[in-house]
Amino acid sequence: AGYAMTGVPKTADDYPTFQVTEGKEGKCLSLVTRSTGFFGSLMGMPIAAGNLFMGTFSVGNALTDPLKATMFGVPFEHIPTYLKGYYKYKAGEVYKDENGNIVKDKKDTWDIYAIFYETDEKTKTLDATNRFDHPNLISIARIDEKDRKETDEWTEFYLPFVTKTGKTVDKDKLKAGKYNVAIVFSSSIEGDYFRGAVGSTLHIDEVELIHAAD
């Protein structure tokens, strides 16, 4: 919905997020960092990273407070232990900052992560401003920097959820739906700050969220 506001896309395949047939098994997810055209440049948002996440998107906040427009998380009544799947990645040729200026000698890269956190009256969801450091966080699974490689071959990722120091899970709250999980994929790791390379492409397939036995 946010990208549609730019007036750029003409077909489904023009969006940053769509599906293609060349998956590891059948179809797969294709995430491509796109230019937002004249309108996006005018608003100081020159690119849109290809992204997919569990949660909701607030179109109302898209222009005024984009970091809070992405609300990560859906209720999950299990304790997640691993996130696995397959990826392919190719970085775009020209990296630009949020002002559309070329940043020499900087190469775009991608991101995969999952967060598991407790909800309460004050915190219903997390967003791009607090997803990695909120006190309600229980555990995080994230691709390591050294493993964010460019490859045209399907490559497996297997990411453990690392529990934050001192954090435990209340089994009663868990069964009551008081914990959320979110899985996030992005073709440009700093895309939420509108930094990246147009054309960066991340393909994702065969994703599994593994949880502990109840």
| pTM for the whole structure | 0.92
pLDDT of 214 strictly over 80: no
Tens digits of residue pLDDT in 31-44: 999 999 988 888 88
pLDDT for the residue numbered 206: 98
Q: Residue 83: pLDDT band by 50, 70, 90 thresholds? A: very high
Q: Is the pLDDT of residue 23 over 80?
A: yes
| Beta-strand relationship, 74-75 and 179-186 | antiparallel
User: Could you give the percent of the chain with pLDDT greater than 70?
Assistant: 99
CB neighbour list of residue 105: distance below 8 Å, 6 or more residues apart: none
Nearest-angstrom CA–CA distance, 83 and 113: 8
